[in-house]
Structure 1
Amino acid sequence: MPLHVPPAPAPALRSVLTALDSPTALREAPTPALRAAQGPTTPELPLPVHVLDRISADGASATRLAGWRFLIRSGEHAVAAAETMLTPDGWAFSHFFEGPYVTSTERALRQAESMGQPYQPRLLSMPSLYMLTLWLHGDIDGDGTDGHPDDTDLLVPLAPAPPGIPAHVPHRVADLLPLLTHRAAPVRLLGSPA
């Protein structure tokens, strides 16, 4: 198996399992597909979610761990996802959700499996671009909680991707992040202070 999925912290997994067993959490979730799932639902493929708040001029920047995301499987496919977050008391369930990023993540993971090269999958969010990518990190022995995208790592934009950036096309970090630097730069209006 070329993908080396890091284990999620045990409290994060327990919080998701507890939420899946909670009728209240499921009833209040905006996830019709999860509520309508027939048979057992299981949290799988825990992915650390990193946030890239700023892209520097050379395209490299540190990330921060924002949470862990689990795909919730029912039958053959993921029907939703569960997100956890770090609180002062430790890892806690945040919310369930569904939508295009769930199916896009599942598709990108299958695509990465077929590459035949070992990677550690992570998610990399770039809020300033409204962009989420599957980050295929070359350090397969890390715990998934720290680090920054290495030049040789791959980023696979998930659908929906920003205009002009094709979804599900792997890009080397060294090629993609410098291109995104211009998109993430603040726009200066005429007459505004420099």
Structure 2
Amino acid sequence: MEQEFWHQRWAENQIGFHRDSVHPMLMRYWSTLCPMPDETVLVPLCGKSIDLNWLAEKHEHVIGVELSDIAVRAFFSENLYTPQVHRAPSGHTHYCFDELELISGDFFTARLSPTSLIYDRAALVAMPPSMRDQYVHRVRDLLAPGGRLLLITLFYPQADDNPPFSIDTSIVEEVFSGLDIRLLETQTEPEGDRGEQVWLIKANA
């Protein structure tokens, strides 16, 4: 989507994708990544997710990247955190508080180092098909050798061109081909044609 689309969604508080509780699939399956406390966690397109808090309780450094500065500032305000703020030469703004570092700006141009752990709950599903390969290429570049990705996707009969986008099994297997891909769980709603899936994806060592 165009960046202006997301800026407008946050400006108008049209954020139905935001959860008020930690995602249960994160809590249930994070341990399958065999995460160590000193391993940095990267959360692309993090919004103001409280999943960040949950991860920060378990890791020494959690980096979230979010296009909307409104979302980043809301995260710190709603959690009553007072971050240190600095602007990087890239134009991105970094907000830091204890274990948390939120970077406000474009995920594709942020200066990031490869990391061992990535958590994607709402990023891949936010990418239109025209940007999907670009996003996955960026994630694969940022996954260190032996790194692990916990990916949560949605599937449903999509009738329009608006996010979140339906991501079925074949898409995940195609875009992450060459990596170790494991489907951990599928939760299907009663109607049977929509639900969530959680994946463990490992980079080659």
Q: What TM-score bracket applies, with the shorter chain setting the length?
A: under 0.3
Larger Rg: 1
With the length of structure 1 as denominator, give the TM-score of the two structures: 0.25
Structure showing greater relative contact order (alpha-carbon pairs closer than 8 Å, 6 or more residues apart)? 1
